[in-house]
Amino acid sequence: MKVKVPPLKIQGIKTKLVPFILKNITWHGKGKWIEPFLGSGVVVFNVCPERALLADVNPHIISVYQAIQQNEISPENLRYFLNREGQFLSELGDDYYYEVRNRFNEGHSPLDFLFLNRSCFNGMMRFNANGQFNVPFCRKPHRFSQAYITKICNQVGWVRRQMEGRKWEFVVQDWRETLSQVMRDDFVYLDPPYNGRHTDYFNQWNEDEANALACAVKELASGFAYSTWKQNKFRVNSHLSQHFSDYPIITKAHFYHVGATESLRHAIQEALVIAPSHVAEAIDESLLPAGQKQLALLL
């Protein structure tokens, strides 16, 4: 299966786990694909369902994808913007990065957000208590080469094509509001912040929130798949056994290259908790056709 990457980089992005996720779930596709924690959007963009409700509490993620959906951000105007801003960055270095960061924190332009997302330290997405983006510069003033700009523009073009002709709604809202809209025929994919790992993604994620989410997930009338972590070299995720010991749990070793510190970049055992009625039979990935037809094999 050929997985493609969306334009936003986010710590914990599931690019390499998309085949693992999709081959282990089954869904008839009659309702909506729902994600309460959209993040980069890599899963839904590769699934490409006909209908989707895609939510996040981070308004800047949602504004980028709304702008692409409404053609306010296109490969053409993004190329012009990144060429111009990249030239300023090349000439002025970190001073210009922090000028753009201040500009974004005042005006919240989705174009500025894309620029910062691709020129900040280690591809992080972090905000302070006041909701201001506060990741430092990556110290690569020549970051925006023509090849790199083309790569980002191609990612935007691909995301736009995935949305065309499909009923996808991007909304800024809490996970509770999103889950309150779930119907029986829907399928919910959940990728919340991982306890003890990505707590500064946009707002504080704590144990109480994680416990409340786990309880709500188990009450869903629809199918679901819940991404979390099982263990790393230092510790085991007790939340998993506490809430989902009676559910099918499929694991896979994974390595994160994005993180604030080296301690967040070790190998980790990923876990996928799946509603019992939506566990797929084993699928030979070599049989998956090219392009975006893989969902048909899962329905």
Confidence tier at 118 by pLDDT (50, 70, 90)? very high
Smallest CA-to-CA distance from 81 within 110, 103, 54 is with: 110
Task: Fill in the amino acid letter for 162.
Answer: Q
pLDDT over 80 at 282, yes or no: no
CA distance 237 to 265: 16
The average pLDDT across 258-287 equals: 68
pLDDT tens, residue by residue, 32-44: 999 999 999 999 9
Q: Is 109 helix (H, G, I), strand (E, B) or coil?
A: coil
Q: How far is CA 185 from CA 51, 126, 179, 284, in A?
A: 12, 35, 13, 26
Q: Locate tokens 């899962």: which residue? A: 298
Close Cβ partners of 161 (under 8 Å, ≥ 6 residues apart): none
CA distance 127 to 119: 15
CA distance 250 to 271: 6
Q: How many helices (H) and strands (E) does the chain have?
A: 11, 7
Smallest CA-to-CA distance from 253 within 236, 265, 237, 270 is with: 270
- Of residues 189 and 198, the one with the higher pLDDT is 189
Output the pLDDT for position 290.
37
Name the strands in the sheet holding 187-190, side by side, starting at the edge strand that comes first in the sequence: 167-172, 51-56, 33-35, 187-190, 223-232, 267-274, 249-255
pLDDT tens, residue by residue, 6-18: 999 988 788 889 9
List the single range of 22-26, 45-49, 138-142, 252-256 with lowest mean pLDDT: 252-256
Q: What share of the chain is helix, strand, coil (3-state, %, to 5)?
A: 40, 15, 40
- Of residues 280 and 53, the one with the higher pLDDT is 53
pLDDT tens, residue by residue, 134-189: 999 999 999 999 999 999 999 999 999 999 999 999 999 999 999 999 999 999 99
Confidence tier at 287 by pLDDT (50, 70, 90)? very low
CA distance 164 to 292: 13
pLDDT over 90 at 56, yes or no: yes
Output the pLDDT for position 286.
36
pTM of the model: 0.87
Token code pair at residue 231: 């263990």
- Of residues 290 and 262, the one with the higher pLDDT is 262
The average pLDDT across 79-102 equals: 98
Output the pLDDT for position 162.
98
Confidence tier at 195 by pLDDT (50, 70, 90)? low
Output the pLDDT for position 293.
36
Q: Tell me the chain's radius of gyration from C-alpha atoms.
A: 19
The number of CA neighbours under 13 Å toward the Cβ of 64 is 27
Q: Are the beta carbons of 23 and 41 closer than 8 angstroms?
A: no
- Of residues 129 and 92, the one with the higher pLDDT is 92
Confidence tier at 256 by pLDDT (50, 70, 90)? low
List the single range of 68-82, 159-173, 227-241 with lowest mean pLDDT: 227-241
The average pLDDT across 42-54 equals: 97
In order of their start, the domains of the chain are: 15-57+173-298 (3.40.50.150), 75-159 (1.10.1020.10)
List the single range of 67-76, 91-100, 229-238 with lowest mean pLDDT: 229-238
CA distance 85 to 72: 18
